[in-house]
Structure formats: C-alpha cells, structure tokens
Amino acid sequence: MSKLCIIGTGYVGLVTGTCFAEVGHQVICVDNNAEKVRMLREGGIPIYEPGLEEMIPRNVAAGRLSFTDSIAEGVQGSDIVFIAVPTPPQPDGSVDLSFIEGVAREIAGCMTAYKIIVDKSTVPVKTGEKVAETIKRYNRSKVDFDVVSNPEFLREGFAVEDLMHPDRVVVGVTSPRPVKAMQEVYEPFGAPIIVTDINSAELIKHAANSFLALKISYANALSVLCEATGANVVEVANGMGLDKRIGRQFLNAGIGFGGSCFPKDLSAFIKIAEQLGFDFRLLKEVQTINSAQMDRFVRKISDTLWVLKDKRLGVLGLAFKQNTDDVRMSPAIDLCQRLLKEGAVLRVYDPKAMDKAKAILPPGDRITYVDAMEDVAEGCDALVVATEWPDFAKLDLERLREQLSHPIVFDGRNIFDKQEMERLGFLYKSVGR
C-alpha cells in the first residue's frame, strides 16, 4: 500500500485517485476549490463518469479516500504526490502551464521529507525539467525529491475502465530512485510498465493523442471519397481495421473530433514542434480535415432543407462523445450554434450533458431542452444526430417517422442502419455512406 496525494480533482485527478484507492492505496485528493471539496466530502460527485458513483463512497467508507483543499495536508501525509491540474490552451495554441508551476511551488514550500512528485497532466516535452528546477528553487527545507512524468491515457466516459485496465503505464524518470515506488503503485493494475526518460514520457502523450486524432481525420477524409463514389466508409474502415497493424478503433467517420484533449493537444504539439524548428504540417492537415468535416455536415443539412431560418430541428446529443456529461469543445454544441446562427429552431436532448450545455446554450425561444429522447423530434422538420450515445440507436423509428413533419434524418455519427432507414421511408443522410 502506498500513501498517495492527488492534486486536482478534475476528470483525470478524481478518477485516478479513486481507482488508486480501489486497489488498496491510501489516497488524499486535493482541490483548491473549497466548494468542490465540501461537495465531495458530503458524497456529491461533480462529474458524470460510469462506475465512479459507486466507487467513491465505497473507498471513503473504507477510509482509503479523503478530500482536502490544503496542499500542505496532502503533501505531508503522503510519499508520492501526483499533479493532475488543468493545462489549458492559450490563444496561440501553446499550453498555459501556470497551474503546474503554481502547484510545484506550493509542493516545494511544504515538503519536509523525501517526496516523489509525479506529473500526470498533459504537458509539453521538457516540462518535467522546469518542474524540477522550480521545486529545487522553492524547496525551503532542502529535502530530497524526484520528479516523474506519468502521463494519463484514460478516455472520458470510460475512465474507470481505462484506469483499472490500462494498456500500458508510462513512467519517465531521471534517476532509478523513484522507479520501485512507482512500480508498487501500478503493480495491482497488471499492465506493462514502460520506464523511460522524462522527455520521452512527455512526448509519448502528445504523440499518442495526435496519432489518434490523425486516425479519425483519415477516416473523415475517406468519407469524402466514399460519398463521391457510393462506397461505404464503415465497410472501408472494417476492411482496414482487421489488419492488426492498423486496428479498427478510432476509424469512425463523423462530424469530427472534439473534447478537451484532442483539439488542444494537437495545437500544442504543432506549437511544440514549431518551437523545436519542425513544421508539423501533417498535424495541421489533421486539423483542417476535422473542421472541414463539420462544414460539410452543416452544408448537407442546408442543401437538403434549403433555408434553415425557422426550420425546426430535433438534435440528439450535446456531449462531445458518448458516456460523458462533458461539453467542452463539443462538436455537438458547435453544430447547434451553427444551426442557430442560420436561424433554425432547436429541440435538443442529451442523457447526461444538458445541465452543462445550458450554460453555453441557454434555453429560450430558439432552443428547447426536452426530457426524453423519444420526444426530441416532435413536430420537427428533421432529426440531427450529433453524439454517438448507444441509446440513440434504440429509438423507435416508426414513431420517429410519425413525429417528424418530413421523415428526414441527418446522422452525424452513423448510428443508424442505412438500409433500414431507407426501407422505413426516411430521407437519410449520414457520413461517408
């Protein structure tokens, strides 16, 4: 059992801390938002993530998981301190590292014995060096410490599953001293542990996310060719994906990727490369294809419905992907904003993300939030699918056809069976099929 402190209780920090406690470690989670800490202490959970709701109370009750707003309390009560604070983008695409720097200074100021300080946030290569310099500078007690890079690869919506069963764990170090302790932390998860230098560990994270984004843009580019030739992008992806060297995952064409990671990490990686003297044009093209994909989808809607002003559209999905309440950089929200700008009137539904969406798209004359997916299309001119929630595919299609004033469906996530939709008499437009 290790004594661990996690600083930051966002999607990464909270799920990581909880899963560490689940396997038996002693975990204290720190957040500077006292309100959030109070909520967590009272059993509330600030995010939706499948499995988390049962795990947090179980581990709190077992005395393995606790919450505080004091970094000093967290650091002094543990041997390993994980930093999981936000690294938001700046207007020029580079990463704002001020939260990391601030936390590093605070940790340094309250260390009274040897600590391992682990960066879990996604950061540009060479950040570990800066963190080490900062800690050295503000380390009043002059105690020993090691800095480790341990990037996180969890997907939102599958965070618990990904953390409990990781494909691999990456541990970047500058000395052998912290390796054994890190191995002990991850040993219960049974995944291969890759021990490397810090710069490589930091690069692995940006390289992996950018490659996954590249795969999606590749599929989206293929969808254009499929539409031009009558081929089917799903069949093409299946045919490619069975090749073990390629793999089927992240080859789903749609309205483009979003979320708080891929768009940000791509921009950051392009910027990092630029600062290192390399023009990463390949990744710039990934961005271009991604935004063109949304443009093409909106055009598909307006080409079919012609004038969008005062057209009533039902929209299924607001989250940036299935299984999450997260709407940050959500393609679904972007799509709604574009449709509203064209003058459309929207009825929207999402199983988990409506509360968070309301902060960006306040309900009003032009946008109504409905409580059930079955009601979203009532009296609408067409239905639009914007997020790949599995439940949406279970919609009663005959009822849907009766609810729509014209049986038109724009499926931005290819969730319905094309032949079935056509057999039922829908004018059905999906992506690359």
What residues are labeled active site?
261
Based on the shown chain and the rule CB under 6 A, indicate whether residue 380 belongs to the binding site for ligand UGA: no
- Give me the 232-251 binding string for ligand UGA, x by CB under 6 A, dash otherwise: ------------------xx
How far is the C-alpha of 120 from the C-alpha of 202, rounded, in Å? 10
Window of 93-101, 149-157, 356-364, 396-404 that interacts with ligand UGA by CB under 6 A: 149-157
29 SS3 class = strand
Position 156 contacts ligand UGA (CB under 6 A): yes
Nearer to ligand UGA, 2 or 252 (CB): 252
Q: What is the DSSP letter of 70?
A: -
Closest by CA to 321, choosing from 331, 306, 309, is: 331
Q: Which of 257, 253, 252, 392 is nearest to 315 (CA)?
A: 392
Q: Smallest gap, in angstroms, from Cβ of residue 221 to ligand UGA?
A: 13
Stretch that binds ligand UGA, among 89-97, 152-160, 228-236, 378-386 (CB under 6 A): 152-160
The nearest distance, CB 354 to ligand UGA, in angstroms, is 18
| Distance, CA of 229 to CA of 223 (rounded, Å) | 10
Site for ligand UGA in 1-60 (CB under 6 A): none
What token pair was written down for 349?
A: 């539904």
Instruction: Based on the shown chain and the rule CB under 6 A, indicate whether residue 296 belongs to the binding site for ligand UGA.
Output: no
Interface positions, 248-277, toward ligand UGA (CB under 6 A): 250-252, 254, 257-259, 261-262
Nearer to ligand UGA, 108 or 219 (CB): 219
Q: How far is CA 355 from CA 109, 126, 373, in A?
A: 39, 38, 15
Q: How far is the CB of 283 from ligand UGA (least distance, A)?
A: 15
Judged on CB neighbours under 10 Å (0-12, 13-18, 19+), 99 is middle
Convert residues 196-235 into a mask of x (bound to ligand UGA by CB under 6 A) and - (unbound).
Answer: -------------x--x---x-------------------
Mask of contacts with ligand UGA, 88-107, x by CB under 6 A?
A: --------------------
Q: How far is the CB of 258 from ligand UGA (least distance, A)?
A: 4
Measure CA 331 to chain center. 12
Our CB check for ligand UGA shows the closer of 156 and 202 to be 156
Sheet of strand 115-119, all strands in order from the earlier edge strand to the far edge:
65-68, 26-30, 3-7, 80-83, 115-119, 145-149, 169-173, 193-197
Can you tell me the distance from the alpha carbon of 50 to that of 73, in angstroms, rounded to the nearest whole number? 29
Is residue 155 near ligand UGA by the rule CB under 6 A?
A: yes
If one asks whether residue 78 binds ligand UGA (CB under 6 A), the answer comes out as: no
**Residue number with CB closer to ligand UGA (261 or 380):** 261
Q: Give the amino acid at 336.
A: C
Judged by beta carbon, residue 25 or residue 120, the one nearer ligand UGA is 120
> What is the DSSP track for 379-399?
T-SEEEE-S--GGGGGS-HHH
Q: How many CA atoms lie within 13 A of 215 on its CB side?
A: 16
- If the CB atoms of residues 49 and 106 are measured against ligand UGA, the closer one turns out to be 49
154 scored as a contact of ligand UGA (CB under 6 A)? yes
Give the H or E element holding residue 172.
strand 169-173
Between CA 210 and CA 273 the distance in angstroms is: 12
Number of chain positions touching ligand UGA (CB under 6 A) = 21
Nearest distance in Å: CB 345, ligand UGA: 25
The stretch near ligand UGA (CB under 6 A) out of 146-154, 268-276, 300-308, 339-347 is 146-154
Q: Is 342 exposed, middle or buried (0-12, 13-18, 19+ CB in 10 A)?
A: middle
- State in angstroms the smallest separation of the CB of 158 from ligand UGA: 7
What residues does 26 pair with on adjacent strands?
3
What are the residues whose beta carbons fall under 8 Å from the beta carbon of 46, sequence distance 6 or more?
Answer: 9, 14, 36, 39, 40
In the complex, what is the shortest distance from the CB of residue 112 to ligand UGA, in angstroms, rounded to a whole number?
A: 32
Give buried/exposed letters for 195-227 (b at 16+ CB in 10 A, else e): beebbebbbbbbeebbebbbbbbbbbbbbbebb
Smallest distance, ligand UGA to C-beta of residue 297, A: 12
| Given 138, 153, 189, 280, the residue binding ligand UGA (CB under 6 A) | 153
Residue 249 CB, shortest distance to ligand UGA, in Å, is: 7
**153 or 280, CB closer to ligand UGA?**
153
Angle, CA 135 vertex, CA 129 and CA 141 arms, to 5°: 150
Using rule CB under 6 A, residue 138 touches ligand UGA: no
Q: Which residues bind ligand UGA (CB under 6 A)?
A: 122, 152-156, 209, 212, 216, 250-252, 254, 257-259, 261-262, 320-321, 331
